[in-house]
């Protein structure tokens, strides 16, 4: 049985740079699963509805950019090989969400947030620091982050017009996947963050959502 390939620090940095480019460049993420929106009918949306839905999907797209960066930062500094592999696998699954959101944004005649490079850099740094502290903290951060994402998705699902079945299908599948990521992180030994820490994370997420809704 072949052993797992060992990467040098330089190899890992180059892989991280490649991932960053694939995350931030338009249409560069290749999903492993087709978008759930494909089988849903088109809806007749007025200009205000279209603009609002595009803003919501832009927020979710930036959230997936942050998720990619977070997982990659954690994978870079994870101490146990199995934790590193879990982070890299989760990042691969998040690529689906990234691509689906971008596709929907383009369909609505809009574009992703210009702030994505900034949020990618910040999230990568946070993930790397969490991984340096300990794998338990790193996994706990994943669980707490995914809990925040699920709350955002629930809020956005309530705001969607009933006739927009395409966006709804995407967000519902994303919600299912994010809940699984949170559960897997805790089952792998992740730390359950206390309420004050989660509150701080919630406040930071509001900065992201309010800024990327329009730009």
Binding residues for Fe cation: 64, 94, 97, 146, 178, 181
Q: Which of 126, 107, 127, 110 is nearest to 58 (CA)?
A: 110
The two structure tokens encoding residue 125: 């740094």
Return the CA Rg of the chain: 17
DSSP 7: P
Annotated binding site: 64, 94, 97, 146, 178, 181
Instruction: Please provide residue 206's backbone torsions phi and psi, each rounded to the nearest 5 degrees.
Output: -65, -35
Q: How far apart are CA 174 and CA 104, in angstroms?
A: 13
Number of H helices, E strands in the chain: 7, 0
Q: 120 near 24, Cβ under 8 Å?
A: yes
Place of tokens 């009933």: 162
CA atoms within 13 A on the CB side of 123: 27
Q: 156 near 61, Cβ under 8 Å?
A: no
Q: 92 near 145, Cβ under 8 Å?
A: no
């Amino acid at each position: 049985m072949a052993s797992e390939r060992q990467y040098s620090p330089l190899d890992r940095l180059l892989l991280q740079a490649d991932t960053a480019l694939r995350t931030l460049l338009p249409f560069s993420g290749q999903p492993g699963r087709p978008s759930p929106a494909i089988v849903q009918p088109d809806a007749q949306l007025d200009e205000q509805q279209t603009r609002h839905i595009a803003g919501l999907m832009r927020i979710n797209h930036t959230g997936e950019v942050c998720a990619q960066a977070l997982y990659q930062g954690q994978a870079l500094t994870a101490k146990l090989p199995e934790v590193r592999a879990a982070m890299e696998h989760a990042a691969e699954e998040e690529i689906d969400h990234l691509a689906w959101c971008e596709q929907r944004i383009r369909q609505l005649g809009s574009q992703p947030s210009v702030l994505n490079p900034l949020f990618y850099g910040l999230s990568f740094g946070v993930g790397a620091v969490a991984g340096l502290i300990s794998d338990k903290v790193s996994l706990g951060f994943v669980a707490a982050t995914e809990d925040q994402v699920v709350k955002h998705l629930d809020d956005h699902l309530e705001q969607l017009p009933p006739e927009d079945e395409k966006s709804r299908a995407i967000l519902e599948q994303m919600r299912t996947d994010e809940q699984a990521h949170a559960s897997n992180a805790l089952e792998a030994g992740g730390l359950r963050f206390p309420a004050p820490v989660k509150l701080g994370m919630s406040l930071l997420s509001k900065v992201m959502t309010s800024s990327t809704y329009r730009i």
